[in-house]
Amino acid sequence: MRALLHRHEFYLAALTLALSAGIALANPAFCSVANLFDLCQGSTVMGLFALGVLIVLVSGGIDVSFAAIGAFSMYVTSKVLLGLDFQGSAAVALVLGGAIGTLLGLFNAFFIGFLRLPTLIVTLGSASLFRGFLLAFIGTAIVNTLPAGMVRFSKLTLWEMRLADGTIAGLPASFLLLVVAALLVGCVLQGTMLGRGIYALGGNPVAAARAGFNLRGRQLFIYGGTGLLSGLAGVVHACMMRNANPFDLVGMELNVLAAVVLGGAGITGGRGTVLGTLLGVGLIVTINNSLILLDVPSYWQKVVVGAVILVSTGITARTGWARARGAGLC
């Protein structure tokens, strides 16, 4: 129980519950199953991006190219499948999008792992490069008719229920993708030497090299994996929107980074969990979605999100600092 009180995740969950209770009091519509499904749907794309960003932050790096990778994978996948007049399953779209994302991630990994350039510089550069290449050479027109498989996937639900007013609310199948990805990332980070090596790298890169970790291999995994998750997120986004807009996604970077940091990941590396990241995403999505239910103007959402980040991470930083102080370290 005491250990629970020391966990960032506990406070985050409590904050989300308190916020939800407040919103539910003001507008009972918040408590409906339909709204819950909406929140899950709204968390899927951001959650996939956030898992990738979590891995990068834990390793001590930072990635701002994931949205550009997502947009690139989404648009190219849609164009290619349309060009081939592909009628098969959306699984192929996900595999293709994931593969494109992985390749773009490995492009980052090359500069970071082999040329040892700073991660922020590399991903800032590659983000602009990917986006520019996409718009200049592949296209700027919105694809309004997606390949048949992607359209079918967008209508697929895990669970449906008929509401009192006769409409049907459903939990989209893509949410399952987020659940599986979260479980996988969680298992890799916590339960394998590959994942522990990423924490070690984020905690003390010099010691990680001395200990004999294969750091280049890890950079390939970190940025390749983030690319994979970003590519999947892009394809899922297109399915949800029922179109592929090459101008979409870019601009989400700060929100996703904010969610991950809110979830307890340290911007200086070595800290962060999947659970915290999902809670951070959940909180930000709840704020964004629910303030609409309360008739709060959308500009205020930004103010609220900003305030929550400052207060929440501020408290964690202060308590961590106080504890270090108690141990005679500062």
Partner 1 sequence: MRPAIVAARNISKSFGGVQALREVSVALHRGEIRGLVGENGSGKSTLIQILAGVLGPDAGEIVVDGKTHAHLDPREAIRAGIQVIYQDFSLFPNLTVAENLALNTELEHGTRFVSRRRRRRIATAALARLGRDIDLTQTVAELSVADKQLVAIARALLHNARVIIMDEPTTALTQREVQTLFGIVADLKAQGMSLLFVGHKLQEVLALCDAITVLRNGRNVAEGEAAQFSPGDLVRHMTGRHLQGRPRATTVSEDEDLLKVTDLSKAGAFAHVSFAAGAGEVVGITGLLGSGRTELALSLFGLAPADSGTIEIAEQAVRIRSVPDALRAGIAYVPEDRLTEGVFAEQSIERNLAISGLSAWAHPAGWISPARLRRVVAPWLGRLRIQTPSARMPVAGLSGGNQQKVVLGRWLATQARVLILNGPTVGVDVGAKADIHAQIRELVGHGLTALLISDDLRELAEVCDRILVMHRGRIVREIPAAGCDENALARELGRLE
Binding residues for partner 1, rule: CB under 8 A, are 190-194, 196-197, 199-200, 202-204, 206-208, 210-213, 266, 269-271, 323-324, 327-329
Is the distance from CB of 102 to CB of 227 less than 8 angstroms? yes
Tell me how far apart the alpha carbons of residues 213 and 242 are, in angstroms, rounded to a whole number.
44
In this structure, the dihedral spanned by the alpha carbons of residues 298, 300, 306 and 308, taken in order and rounded to 10 degrees, is: -100
As a whole number of angstroms, the distance between CA 62 and CA 201 comes to 13
b/e map 243-277, b = 16+ CB within 10 Å: bbbbebbbebbebbbbbbbbbbbbeebbbbbbbbb
Q: Which two tokens stand for residue 57?
A: 């932050």
| Shortest separation between residue 145's beta carbon and partner 1, angstroms | 45
Local structure of 246: helix, strand or coil: coil
Q: What are phi and psi of 56, to 5 degrees?
A: -65, -45
User: In Å, how far are 38, 71, 93, 222, 251 from 86, measured between CA atoms?
Assistant: 30, 20, 10, 32, 31
Give CA–CA dist 145/148, Å, rounded.
8
Query: How many whole angstroms separate alpha carbon 270 and alpha carbon 257?
Result: 16
Alpha-carbon Rg for the chain, nearest whole angstrom, is 20
Distances (CA, A) of 251 to 70, 71, 73, 168, 191: 12, 11, 16, 32, 33
Q: Toward partner 1, which CB reaches closer, 70 or 197?
A: 197
Helix (H) or strand (E) holding 165: none
Cα–Cα distances in angstroms (integers) from residue 119 to residues 16, 61, 101, 122, in the given order: 32, 6, 17, 5
Residue with tokens 């940091």: 261
